[in-house]
Amino acid sequence: MHFTTSALAASVLAALAPAVLAAPLQARGEKTFGVVTIHSGSDLQYASLGYGSGNTISVGSGSGIDFYVSGGHLKDTKGNTFYVDASTRQIKYAAKDIPSSGVQTTWSTSSTSLELDSKANGIACKTSGGYELYWAKDGEALNCDGALGVDLYVSYDPAATTSATKSPTKTATATPAKKTAATPAAASTATILPPNLLIPVEAATPTKAFGAQYTGDVKTANGKESVGTFVSFDVPPLKNEVKSCHLVWTPPTAKSFPSKLTGSKKVDFYAVTSEVKPKTLTWNNKPKRGAKIGTFDAATGTFTKSSVTCEFGKVQQFELVAEDNTEVEWFQENSPRTGLNYVMLR
């Protein structure tokens, strides 16, 4: 069948479509959510997702999309279904039926991130009109202009279970007017915490307590860790205001103090199992290593997972460990922002 509608009638139908979806969403207990990209120090920090040309997703040029996940399918309240083209790795959407083969569709959400097959591997590729969104396989490098790894932060809308027509929260759509390496500090939706302690430990001097430093250093060579750094943050009690917490890394620049980035430049970060004592911490008495949380690339700021549990009103600490044949040394600065920081998204 074919329908012809006036512009006015079409606009009315478009306005009603999300409302029609609201009841089934609520009945199934599904919630809509907005998504923003997180890549510290880039143009994409806190940028929202929008609809691109040719049934693609653009980054930073749209007003936000209301997503929800149903049965492993990522959908929006307009009736589109999203998938990854297995050959090009681009995220696309279809208004009706998605291709029957050559696609990946098993989407889910963690506490803060959008995932495909339980992985968070978003890639933003620069185009003439901005950025488009792709999805990388583990260990896969996409050869596109200006490729940036991004964490797709999920911002749940608490009211979405009762109305699918509500716009994404300010967190999901707010884009700073000017995006620079210091963007997080200027974003009205984020609180940035610098570390209150950086404490190195060294295998060559296993009983030496270095105490708090302005410089962090991690080094692993030939399978042996020789230098590690523990980092500590004082997390304010903002439980009712903050939606999620993240670690972000701003790479050193030419204007930064001297730094060292060698090897793969990959740094793993772990939870700690007991509180670090800054005046007495040494290689020999460092706490037992907790669970691995994620990895970041010290040259680009790309995280495999940037989200961490918010420990409101507590001291939250992490252990930084270089991957093999890598050394990363940096001077923690606020201007220009350099190094590791803790971000609380509102």
Alpha-carbon distance 17 to 77, whole Å? 8
End position of a domain, from candidates 141, 173, 205: 173
Average pLDDT, whole number, for the chain? Answer: 77
User: pLDDT (tens digit, 9 = 90+) per residue, 17-73?
Assistant: 333 344 455 445 567 787 888 876 677 777 788 888 889 998 876 667 888 888 888
Question: Would the CA dihedral through 126, 128, 130, 134 be positive or negative?
Answer: negative
The closest alpha carbon to 272, from 236, 233, 245, 306, belongs to 233
Asked if residue 88 is part of any domain, the answer here is: yes
Q: How confident is the model over 327-339, as pLDDT tens digits?
A: 999 998 876 778 9
Clarify whether residues 12 and 54 are in a common domain.
yes
% of residues, the chain, pLDDT over 90? 32
- pTM attached to this predicted model: 0.51
- Say if 95 falls within a structural domain: yes
The mean pLDDT value for 303-316 works out to 89
How many CA atoms lie less than 13 Å away from 103 in the CB half-sphere?
18
Encoded tokens for 52: 């691109």
The answer to whether position 268 is within a domain reads yes
φ and ψ of 11, to 5 deg = -65, -35
Residues 156 and 203 in one domain: no
Q: In the chain, what are the helix, strand and coil shares in percent, each to the nearest 5?
A: 10, 40, 50
Here the CATH number for the domain that contains residue 202 is 2.60.120
Domains held by the chain: number? 2
pLDDT of 225 higher than 90:
yes
Residue 246 CA to residue 225 CA, distance in Å, equals 25
Q: Give the pLDDT confidence of 82-94 residue by residue, as tens digits.
A: 999 988 899 999 9
Domain that holds residue 51: 8-173
Helix, coil or strand: residue 25: helix
What is the mean pLDDT of the segment spanning 202-220? 94
* pLDDT value at residue 300: 87
